[in-house]
Structures are given as C-alpha cells and as structure tokens.
Structure 1
Amino acid sequence: MDLNQLSPYIRVAWDSIIYPPVHIAERVIFDYELMFVKEGECEVTVEENRYYGKPGDLFLFKPNQVHSITLLNGKPLRQPHLHFDLYYQPDSPEVKVSYRPYSLLTEQEKQWIRPDSLAEMEDPLPNHIRLNKPGVIEQLIQDIIFEFDRKFPYYETTAKGLFIQLWVLLLREIHWQRNTHLHSNWEQLDRVKNYVSHHIEHDLTLDELADLANMSKYYLCRLFKKAYGMTPIQYHVSIRLEKAKQMIQFTNLPLTQIADELGFQSIHAFSRTFRKWEGHSPSSFRKKK
C-alpha cells in the first residue's frame, strides 16, 4: 500500500442503527468498510474468526471477505460506518454496496470486487481493532458522515481529506499496539531526536545519547531504528547532510566553510561522507543547482 498514492473514494457514510431481531447475514462486499461500534454489543464473524464488539471498537471488512454481524443481549447496534475504495478507480461511482453472499452475486457484481491492496502490507491490518483512543476516530467518522449528510460545496473533497487523517490515525494506532515498547519509550526517543536535531554542528557519540535516554546504547539503537528507520548516529549524519545541501544550493559559501560550520573535521571528511550518502561529491551537487 503506497500512502503517497492514496486517493480514497467514499461510497457510503452512514450513522445507522440495527434493531433486534435483525442481523447482518453472511455476505461479501465489493470494497472496504470501517464500522465503529457506538452503542450496543455484537458478535462479528470474519471468515472463520469470531470477535466480540463493544462500544469503542472498530471493525475493518475487506473486499470479498465473508463476514456476518449478530446483535447481542437484545439491544440495538448503533454503527457509524464508511464504505470506500482506498484508490479511486474509473468505475468507483458505479459500484454499489453489497448485502449478499458471493454465490448470489451476478457476473457484473463479481467484477466490482476490488483487489485487497492491504494484503500487500508486511503486517496486514486486523479485522477487529480495540482502540486506545476511540473518541478521536469516532469524531473523524462522524465528521465525514456530516459532510455527506449536508453536502456543502466541495464536501467530497473535504471528506477525502478527513478520511486520510482517519486512515493515518488508524495506522498509527495499530503501529503503537504492535510496538508497545516503542510507545512506552517514546518520550526518551523524542528527547534524543530533538537533541540530535539541535546539535547538528557537533560530533555526537552513542554513549552520550544513551545517557540522555537513560538506556543502554544497544537498546537505544534498536528502538530508534524501529521508530525512525535508522540509528541515532545515522540520523545525525542525515540531517547534517540535509542542512549541507541547503547551504550548497541556496548560498555561495565555500564548501570548506560549510564543512566547518556543520562540524566536520575537514573538507575531506565532509566530501567523503557526502559522497557516501548522496552518491556524488558536494561540488557536483553545487553544479546541479
């Protein structure tokens, strides 16, 4: 799933209530659906898996995924929900919402089933998500529903923007749940990251940063790389070079002065590091500007 290409098409945005004894029988849908449990309780079956849903829970149903919903305790189920394509397709406006099992779909309807682009993820998103902060997710869903209900000018574009916020929050929520060690140490990691960002002109050591984070340097490296994709020292080099590229591109300062102001021991050390990371020398980069 390429978030840079994300272009959601929201098909349905409803805040609906199911009253007992009505249930949603086994079916497949053509697109994706997010269902927030606002009130009531339910048992949700997805393929062979059963989940208990209570207020604050979120369910994600995927294209062509067999699922059903059963109300519990004889109470209504209020479920604000969205049907959507993650990527707009030429036939997106034509596709409807499916309420039937696969065996009853027409050939035309089978053509409407979207590819499950989420299956490409290294860790696919779960069907049942017990949210840590359900209020934020619910509010965004309700804001999208409000836009579709009122249909103010440019409501569809506004709803797309809200959906992207919602989707990123959802991905972040799942990331935190799967990496609780990151979440519990985020304050220390953020402290190290800010310290590095404000000391780009100084040589920093891993021991110094580990003391700042109050953890071993090996644990710091592992957590920092998990959080930001690189070690603290690699991050220090990367932001140093980003600053160097700005100075090369937007000033006429000599390269020796840029190297000195950014704390490199010599122009040779600066050039060697720049070439290693960028694939060409600082002087070549300056000629391209």
Structure 2
Amino acid sequence: MLFQKLSPYIRVAMDSTVPSQWHLQERVLFDYELLYVKEGRVKVTIENQTYEGEPGDLFLFRPKQPHSIMKIGTGRLRQPHLHFDLIFKEDSPDVKISFKPLEEISEEEMMWFREDVLDSNSLKIASHLRLRNPIIIENMLFEIINEFQMKLPYYETNVKGMFIQLFIHLLRENYWNQNPHLVTNMDELVKIRNYLKHHIDQKVTVDELVHISGISKFYLIHLFKKTFGMSPIQYHQMLRIEKAKEIIQFTTDSLTVIAEKFGYSDIQSFSKAFKKIDGVKPSFYRKNK
C-alpha cells in the first residue's frame, strides 16, 4: 500500500510569477509536480488533453508524463508549485528538474525517473482539479513553501508532515469530485453519524436511520459506505466496541455489566461482536490491565 511507504521528499517549493508572454514547451518530469493557479489563467496540455486553468485550480504532473503550459492573456500569472517524490530514494537529492521532452533525455537521466506509485496503487487522481474550497489547499501550499524556504532546524521533517496533510486533502478533493452525490448528501450523512455516536448504548436499525435521514434504505447504505468505508451498522458496532474497550481497561466493572451497558443481551453475544471487530475477546484487555 502506498500509504505504508509514503515518505515524501520535497525537491522544490516556490511561488513564481511568470513574464507577460510565457510558454513552457512540452517536457517530461523525473518527479511529480503540483501546480496551483493563484492568479491569472493558463492553458495546460497533458498527454494531448488540454485544460484551461483559472484561480483555484490545481494541476498534477506525473513522472514521464508529457505536458506543456502556456499563459493566457496579458495579466499577471502567479503559480506556486511543488516538485516532489512520494517515496524517498537514496538518489532523491540528486534528481533535477527537467525541462526536456522525452526524446532529449539522456541515458544517465533516464535513471532519475520516479515510479508512478499513484497508478500502481489504483489511485485515479485527476490531472486537473477544480477545487471545491481552494483556500484550504492554498494556505497549506504556502505554509509548505514558507517552511521550505526558511530552512529552520528540522524543516525537512516538518515539510514531510505538512505535505502529507496536503496530499490527504488532495485525495479527498479528488474523491469528492468523482463522487459529487456524496457531497450533496453530506449533511444527512453527518447527521446519521452523530446519531450513531450518541446511541452507542443500544442497538440501532437501518430503518431508524432511514426515518432520520429521509434517504431510502439501500441508497443510504451505499452512500454511508462510500463516505466512511463501512455500512452504518458496522460503523455503529465499531463505536460501541471502542467505547466498551475503554471501559474494560479503565474501570473494574464486570464484563457482564459492560455488555448490558451497551445493549447486549448476554456476555456471549457481546464477546462474539467484540472479537469480530477487534480480533480478540474482551477479556484480553482485562487480563492486560
């Protein structure tokens, strides 16, 4: 999994303003680049697909991916950007920024191409993102640029952490763009989630949640799973077991009493549900208290 290996290396972090007439001819990069349009407009071509970028847009260029950038109009064009590896390699500090097309890359330079780990992990991140709330990513981007350029003690480690937060926001923006129906129903989904959190001491049925949300049963289950990674009943079970685990570890209440607190009819059904979620029986945490 990409997220277990994720150890970003930031090669360049800068805020640039380009000349009145500017055209970056087709090139391929050895690494990844995130380019944010802060001011002005650009025409970006990526693998024969052309996009028009405006303020608040974000572009992702991948290793070995042909692309070109051309300024539109005569106004100011400001484009803060990052060059980075998602996984640090021993040669990461040696890799340069490419301005060449693929046919001009030397044999020695070919060794600098990073593996496109986004493709290998089936993360279909769009090359062009029209951000729903660009100010969040914009602020994070400028914080990274400032930290990178200040170079205070331990900035490399801090920049890694800051970039991971930015990357997660990017993944979420991409996910919401691909699933706009989730955004449309987000208020209702959050209402259901809060209801589940406040009813961990009892069983909850899908019919209750349908009544609360006004969303049909099967569509509700589909939306909740796409948003939170599991069905609402599975999510509720997880909340109940996590809270029960806390009580087992930090109180002297018997397991039978704890099972009753969470609406389980007997210790056997509580133990079965606990092991299904946590992988061990509830007594494991009492023995290791």
TM-score clears 0.5: yes
Task: Give the TM-score, by structure 2 length.
Answer: 0.92
Residue 191 (structure 2) pairs with residue 191 (structure 1): yes
Quickly say closer, same or farther: Cα 1:235–1:148, change in 2 above 3 A. closer
Tell me the residue number matched to 2:159.
Answer: 159
Distance in 2 between the 1:211 and 1:60 partners? 42
Q: Number of aligned residue pairs: give it.
A: 289
Distance in 2 between the 1:94 and 1:19 partners? 29
C-alpha contact 1:19 1:75 (8 A) present in aligned 2: no
C-alpha contact 2:2 2:117 (8 A) present in aligned 1: no
Tell me the residue number matched to 2:264.
Answer: 264
Residue 137 (structure 2) pairs with residue 142 (structure 1): no
Shift of 1:288: 5.5
Tell me the residue number matched to 1:115.
Answer: 115
Quickly say closer, same or farther: Cα 1:168–1:281, change in 2 above 3 A. closer
Q: Per-residue displacement from partner, 1:186-225 (whole Å, max 9, x unpaired)?
A: 1111111111112111121211121111222222211111
Distance in 2 between the 1:2 and 1:269 partners? 37
Code of the residue aligned with 2:271 in structure 1: it is: S
Unmatched runs of 5 consecutive residues or more in structure 1:
none
What SS does structure 2 have at the residue aligned with 1:209? helix
Within 5 Å, give how 1:20-31 maps onto structure 2.
20-31=20-31
C-alpha contact 2:2 2:121 (8 A) present in aligned 1: no
Q: Per-residue displacement from partner, 1:124-183 (whole Å, max 9, x unpaired)?
A: 111111112222222222222222232223322332222122111111111111111111
RMSD: 2.0
Distance in 2 between the 1:151 and 1:276 partners? 48
Shift of 1:118: 0.6
Task: Give the TM-score, by structure 1 length.
Answer: 0.92
Shift of 1:4: 4.1
C-alpha contact 1:37 1:80 (8 A) present in aligned 2: yes
C-alpha contact 1:62 1:116 (8 A) present in aligned 2: yes
Code of the residue aligned with 1:264 in structure 2: it is: Y
Distance in 2 between the 1:166 and 1:273 partners? 37
Shift of 1:43: 1.3
Shift of 1:279: 4.5
Quickly say closer, same or farther: Cα 1:2–1:286, change in 2 above 3 A. farther
Within 5 Å, give how 1:42-53 maps onto structure 2.
42-53=42-53
Distance in 2 between the 1:216 and 1:148 partners? 49
